[in-house]
Homo-oligomer: A and B are copies of this chain.
Amino acid sequence: MLKKTERLSLVEQVVIQIEQLIESGHWQIGDQLPAEMQLMKEFDVSRNTLREAIRALVHAGLLETKQGSGTVVKSSSAFGVALHRQVEKSSIMETLEVRLALEREAAQLAAIRRNDHDLEAMTESIQLCKLASEKGNVQEFLQADIIFHKAIVKASHNKMLERLYEHITEPLQSSIVEIMVADAYFNYSEEIHYELLEAIKQQDVQAAISYVNTYINDFREKIKRIQED
């Protein structure tokens, strides 16, 4: 069977090049792209071709154009943007349930696969939680809390799980911070973090799952109570 030739269109070639320039960090988030006229010369294509490429990336959420001003990098992950939009169309409770599913799986896998480096990262992030808690800074605590949970997910050594968790948590967090700060409700029991860490360290799968359930259920109750007020 012959492989199909399938020549890429000029537009698609330019799209790929721009995507790579963003992904590689050559153009970072917030950076302004060169003007159309210059990009035309650099890619050696006509204005139409260039504009079609840019428009595709604008719709994908990687770029943003403003008439008269220019084009800036808005995101580095099309998948992240797609997931972000999906989360925004869903309720907080729905998203929390999905997050619980991922977190439970992550804890289980982490208990099996974690290495020393993973344990170290988790320990460090718990310190950050404790610090923020002592200062009474809600926003900072939630941020440190996310870092702890991301460390667990990373310890699962499943890249897909990691990406899903990352991009589902990100938009969810902003809603949560909003609610939490507005309510000024805040109490932190650090035991749960230590116990979860210990379970993963001891490779006790059942205990790890159990602590995640406890943690998320507490969290859910908290959110529900606040939302009902």
Binding site for B on A (CB under 8 A): 11-12, 15, 48, 51-53, 55-60, 78-79, 82-83, 85-87, 90, 94-95, 97-98, 100-102, 104-106, 109, 156, 158-161, 163-164
**Contact residue among B82, B83, B159 (Cβ-Cβ distance under 8 Å from A90):** B159
Which of chain B's residues have a CB closer than 8 A to the CB of A156? 97
Given contacts A82-B82, A101-B101, A160-B87, contact A58 B56 (CB under 8 A): yes
List of 7 A-B pairs having minimum Cβ-Cβ separation, nearest first: A101-B105, A56-B59, A82-B82, A90-B160, A52-B55, A94-B160, A101-B101
A160 contacts B86, C-beta separation under 8 Å? yes
Q: How far is the CA of A79 from the CA of B160 in the complex (A)?
A: 16
A109 to B, closest residue via Cβ: B97
Kindly list chain B residues whose C-beta atoms are within 8 Å of the C-beta of A163. Answer: 86
Contact of A51 among B15, B52, B58 (CB under 8 A): B52
Interface of A is mostly: helix
Asked if A94 and B159 make an inter-chain contact with CB atoms under 8 angstroms apart, the answer reads yes
Q: How many copies does the complex hold?
A: 2
Q: Assuming the A-B contacts A60-B60, A79-B82, A105-B100, are A94 and B51 also in contact, with contact meaning beta carbons closer than 8 angstroms in the complex?
A: no
Select A160's contact among B51, B58, B98, beta carbons within 8 Å.
B98
Assuming the contacts A48-B48, A78-B82, A86-B79, asked whether A97 and B55 have C-beta atoms less than 8 A apart, the reply is no
> Contacts A11-B55, A82-B78; is A158 near B48 (CB within 8 Å)?
no
A127 to B105, alpha carbons, bound, how many Å?
A: 30
For the complex with contacts A51-B52, A52-B52, 8 further pairs of A-B residues with Cβ separation under 8 Å are A15-B59, A48-B51, A79-B82, A79-B85, A87-B160, A94-B159, A98-B105, A101-B104
8 cross-chain CB contacts under 8 A: A51-B52, A59-B59, A79-B83, A86-B163, A94-B160, A98-B105, A101-B105, A104-B105
